[in-house]
Amino acid sequence: MSGGQPLFERVAIIGLGLIGGSLASAVRRGGLAAQVVGYDQRPEELALGVDLGVIDQAADSMAQAVSGSDLVVVAVPVRATRTVLEALHPFLDEGSILTDVGSTKSSFLNDVKAVFGSVPERVIPGHPIAGSEKSGVSAADPFLFANHKVILTPPEGADAESVQRLTTLWEGCGATVLTMSVAYHDEVLAATSHLPHLIAFSLVDTLAGEDENMDIFRYAAGGFRDFTRIAASDPVMWHDIFLSNRDAVLRVIDHFTHDLDQLREAIARGDGATLLTVFSRAKAAREHFSKMLSGQAYVTNNSNKQVTFTLQPGGTVQGDIRVPGDKSMSHRSIMLGALAEGVTEVKGFLEGEDSLATLQAFRDMGVAIEGPENGLVRIHGVGMNGLQAPRGPLYLGNSGTAMRLFSGLLAAQPFDSELTGDASLSRRPMGRVADPLRAMGAVIDTAEGGRPPLKIRGGQKLTGIHYQMPVASAQVKSCLLLAGLYAEGMTSVTEPAPTRDHTERMLEGFGYHVHRDGATASVTGGGRMTACAIDVPADISSAAFFLVAASIARDSDLTLRHVGMNPTRVGVINILERMGADIEVLEERVIGGEPVADLRVRSAELRGIDIPEDQVPLAIDEFPVLFIAAACASGRTVLRGAEELRVKESDRIQVMADGLAALGVETTVTPDGIIIDGGQEMAGGTVESHEDHRISMAFAVASLRATGAIRVNDCANVATSFPGFVELAQSVGIRIQAEGAGE
């Protein structure tokens, strides 16, 4: 507002308590009105308001306060509203805006109707969600609303410009303004504020009544103190609120009493399973809530976390380890489990940030999910049509897989949705899924250049198509097959080269038939899925770092257990074997429709090769570490046909070439690949990972053959796919330290 016209000429605050006083001083401080007038029945509060500089002027009467004010704010206790409205009604100018700050909104509107005969279009009820244990104008604080929410509940037919001006006023006080219906506001507040206060009052009263001396409180610990803090709130104000929001409060009390009864019965029956289900669901919800409050979208948010790897050169690699679960399968287990009927149990789930983002997104859509705990997850499927609209955008962090697969699934839901991600994900191309989905009838908006966020319109009827994929992408294929589950008729996708087929295999495991004919996979819409048990094997993409590590380090002998050996994923083994690696495949078996084996790797003299192009999609995520293998091999390695690497979490061709150059290894970058002459000395140096997990881990492996210490910057995202990497790498002999981790 600085310099220009203030937003309002004259603002009248009726009731100069904590909220009214704080609003008055925030308005004055922000220069949001030319004049702020206060009125209160208590002359001493008014005088204090002037002395403290909270208001410009104290009005002697309601008439003086309201006449000539273009905004009138009723800031009195809820039960006093009607009397105040009656008193101000005769003086309110027709063009003035009238608002309030009360905790219940239907009661305010009812009072307006009773006094005005109807609801004038400039009456805009409001509710700042802010407060303090203090009261009175002496506690007025111009920053009380900063970073707090204010809810406006414009009734039907409300004047849009008035809503806008009031929004601007509250934003000028530092608040975030939300708009919702009166009824919804009252329901939400009954549940999130009124009920907790009622329970706190009641619990403290019950316990105090048990013991006349209130001695019992001596033994109460922090949990009790935290839980009951709000029982010290103002009894008069709360008695007002409960009487004013009676209907909504009664509904939520009934709901809560019913749930409490069920817990009581479960305890009486010794039914531990029910208790566990409820508690773990609540724990997950509470954790999600804490993250939301601290501005984090899911389990952890690395945006502020700086992790640097420092690596001492040399070492051998020995041991017997199991790397974490497969990322692709972990995502899919949650997605299909959520849409199935019944409870799906997942073992070996990857507790990395990418798959946890998927898990959280389904919780946000109303799916009860227990865990993860030591890789165990139980998903209470809601059936094909049981997802609920999420309250806000679904934040998918770093995960391209999550965003692309979700887009297919959400395109067919009855509700609107929005998909967002971190800086890296926000640069990645989504047109490859949006375009074919649109051909099926989906309505999807992207940001410029087909980038996230994706805004997906719900309620569209999808029709099956046949899609010939221009790029070999399992994400695109899976996206369309998921959309196809909901489409009319058949959806079929033909791939230019084989890509990972976990979606097809897992759909079959859930009882949804996928017709496969050479390079084409098809589904017919309208079917159902039934819950099943899933055993996620160790991720071959994570194992790859150790396959290369043990191959390039001297005197190595390492066993990797339970590695997923799906033929569409074993490109890294095929390529390393061609280079002369010594990898023994042991105990081959099939578990839950996916081949699994133990791998024993020993040191070997690697040779450079021309990487067969048909292996590229089968090893697409393993190239960063394969480039390290190539740098340690004798002779030249040539990669072609891998332009996809340029649109992964980073441009993996350029970023790897730059990292190798920082260690003194020269390479030739081509548009679709790289040429690496092996055997050059690899010195120490500092490498930029560009926040790409696989780049960070690849250079950690490089240290085994470097001649000096390596520092890798921006490694926090290793947690997206490989939690515990540093500890596991240390345990087998890689001399790695992480700085800044766990802060």
Binding site feature residues for 3-phosphoshikimate: 327-328, 332, 473, 475, 621, 648
CA-to-CA dists, residue 393 to 388, 421, 437, angstroms: 13, 10, 20
- C-alpha 411/C-alpha 460 separation (Å) is 7
Instruction: Compare residues 45 and 649 and give the one whose CB is closer to ligand S3P.
Output: 649
User: Closer to ligand S3P at the Cβ: 108 or 725?
Assistant: 725
- Cβ-based nearer residue to ligand S3P, 107 or 478: 478
Task: Give helix 540-552 / helix 623-632 axis angle, nearest 10°.
Answer: 10
478 binds ligand S3P (CB under 6 A): yes
Q: Please give the structure tokens belonging to residue 503.
A: 């979606």
Stretch 627-686 residues interacting with ligand S3P (CB under 6 A): 644
Residue 620 CB, nearest approach to ligand S3P (Å): 5
Interacting residues with ligand S3P between 281 and 340 (CB under 6 A): 328
Q: What are phi and psi of 371, to 5 degrees?
A: 90, -165
Contacting range for ligand S3P; rule: CB under 6 A; set: 298-306, 451-459, 468-476, 666-674: 468-476
Residue 620 within binding range of ligand S3P, rule CB under 6 A: yes
505 binds ligand S3P (CB under 6 A): no
Strands 57-58, 33-39: pairing is parallel
Q: How many chain residues interact with ligand S3P (CB under 6 A)?
A: 11
User: Closest CB to ligand S3P among 128 and 408?
Assistant: 408
Minimum distance, C-beta of residue 53 to ligand S3P, in the bound complex (Å): 60
Three-state helix/strand/coil letters over 14-38: ECCCHHHHHHHHHHHHCCCEEEEEE
Q: At which residue do the structure tokens 């001596």 appear?
A: 218
Q: CA 497, CA 469: separation in Å to the nearest integer?
A: 10
CB of 621 to ligand S3P, least distance (A): 5
- The sign of the dihedral angle between the CA atoms of 165, 170, 175, 178 is negative
Q: Which of 28, 428, 500, 705 binds ligand S3P (CB under 6 A)?
A: 500
Q: Are 365 and 406 in contact (CB under 8 A)?
A: no
Q: Which residues 131-190 are close enough to bind ligand S3P by CB under 6 A?
A: none
- Considering only 22, 162, 245, 473, the residue that binds ligand S3P (CB under 6 A) is 473
Can you tell me which of 475, 522, 551, 566 binds ligand S3P, judged by CB under 6 A? 475
The least CB distance from residue 644 to ligand S3P, in Å, is: 6
**Among 471-479, 551-559, 666-674, 683-691, which window interacts with ligand S3P (CB under 6 A)?**
471-479
Of 328 and 413, the one with the shorter C-beta distance to ligand S3P is 328
Interface residue with ligand S3P, options 112, 198, 474, 506 (CB under 6 A):
474
Token pair 């409870």: residue: 343
Cα–Cα–Cα angle for 697, 579, 687, rounded to 5 degrees: 25
> At which residue do the structure tokens 């033909």 appear?
494
Q: Which one of residues 40, 186, 539, 621 is an interface residue with ligand S3P (CB under 6 A)? A: 621
Surface-to-core class of residue 160, CB atoms within 10 Å of its CB (0-12 exposed, 13-18 middle, 19+ buried): exposed
Nearer to ligand S3P, 82 or 646 (CB): 646
Residue type, 719: A
**Measured from the CB atom, is 62 or 674 closer to ligand S3P?**
674
**Catalytic site includes residue 364:** no
What contacts 355, CB < 8 A, 6 or more positions away?
Answer: 327, 330, 331, 334, 349, 399
Cα separation, 569 vs 578, whole angstroms: 16
Nearer to ligand S3P among residue 474 and residue 507 (C-beta): 474
> Reduced to 3 states, what is the DSSP secondary structure of residue 380?
strand
170: enclosing H helix or E strand: helix 160-172
Q: At what angle do helices 725-732 and 693-702 cross, to 10 degrees?
A: 20
Sign of the alpha-carbon torsion through 692, 694, 698, 700: positive
Name the residue with the smallest CB distance to ligand S3P: 328
Of 216-224, 473-481, 514-522, 545-553, which part binds ligand S3P (CB under 6 A)? Answer: 473-481
Least gap, CB of 402 to ligand S3P (angstroms)? 9
For residue 149, count CB atoms less than 10 angstroms from its CB and return exposed for 0-12, middle for 13-18, buried for 19 or more: middle
DSSP 214-272: -GGGGG--HHHHHHHGGGGS-HHHHHHHHHHTHHHHHHHHHHHHHHHHHHHHHHHHT-H
DSSP labels for 486-532?
A: TSBSEEEEE-SS----HHHHHHHHTT---EEETTEEEEETT---B--
Q: What are the beta bridge partners of residue 688?
A: 713
Binding-site residues for phosphoenolpyruvate sit at: 327, 400, 428, 475, 652, 694
The residue (of 328 and 556) whose beta carbon lies closer to ligand S3P is: 328
Task: Give residue 586's Cα distance to chain centre.
Answer: 39
Q: How far is the CB of 328 from ligand S3P (least distance, A)?
A: 3
Question: Six-digit token pair at 166?
Answer: 């009031």
Q: Does 357 bind ligand S3P (CB under 6 A)?
A: no
Min CB(483)–ligand S3P separation in Å = 15
Smallest gap from Cβ 592 to ligand S3P, in A, equals 17
Task: Restricting to residues 9-28, name those near ligand S3P by CB under 6 A.
Answer: none
CB-based burial of residue 497 (10 Å sphere; 0-12 exposed, 13-18 middle, 19+ buried)?
middle
- At 540, which amino acid appears? I
Tell me the window of 187-195, 381-389, 474-482, 597-605 that interacts with ligand S3P (CB under 6 A): 474-482
Q: DSSP string of 91-144?
A: G--TT-EEEE--S-SHHHHHHHHHHHSS--TTB--EEEE---S--SGGG--TTT
Of 376-384, 470-478, 507-515, 550-558, the window that binds ligand S3P (rule: CB under 6 A) is 470-478
Query: Are 543 and 551 a contacting pair, CB within 8 Å?
Result: no
> Does residue 402 touch ligand S3P according to CB under 6 A?
no
Smallest distance from the beta carbon of 720 to ligand S3P, in angstroms?
Answer: 10
Instruction: Report the residue from 244, 401, 491, 720 that binds ligand S3P according to the rule CB under 6 A.
Output: 401
Q: Which stretch binds ligand S3P (CB under 6 A): 52-60, 148-156, 198-206, 472-480?
A: 472-480
The single residue of 326, 539, 621, 714 carrying the catalytic annotation is: 621
- Please, which residue, 172 or 408, has the CB nearer to ligand S3P? 408
SS (H, E, C) 442-489: CEEEEEHHHEEEEEEECCCCCECCEEECCCCCHHHHHHHHHHHCCCEC
Query: In terms of CB distance, is 475 or 542 closer to ligand S3P?
Result: 475
Residues comprising the binding site? Answer: 327-328, 332, 400, 428, 473, 475, 621, 648, 652, 694
Min dist. Cβ of residue 28 to ligand S3P (A): 55
Smallest gap from residue 450 Cβ to ligand S3P (A)? 14
Binding positions for ligand S3P, rule: CB under 6 A: 328, 401, 473-475, 478, 499-500, 620-621, 644
Catalytic residues: 621
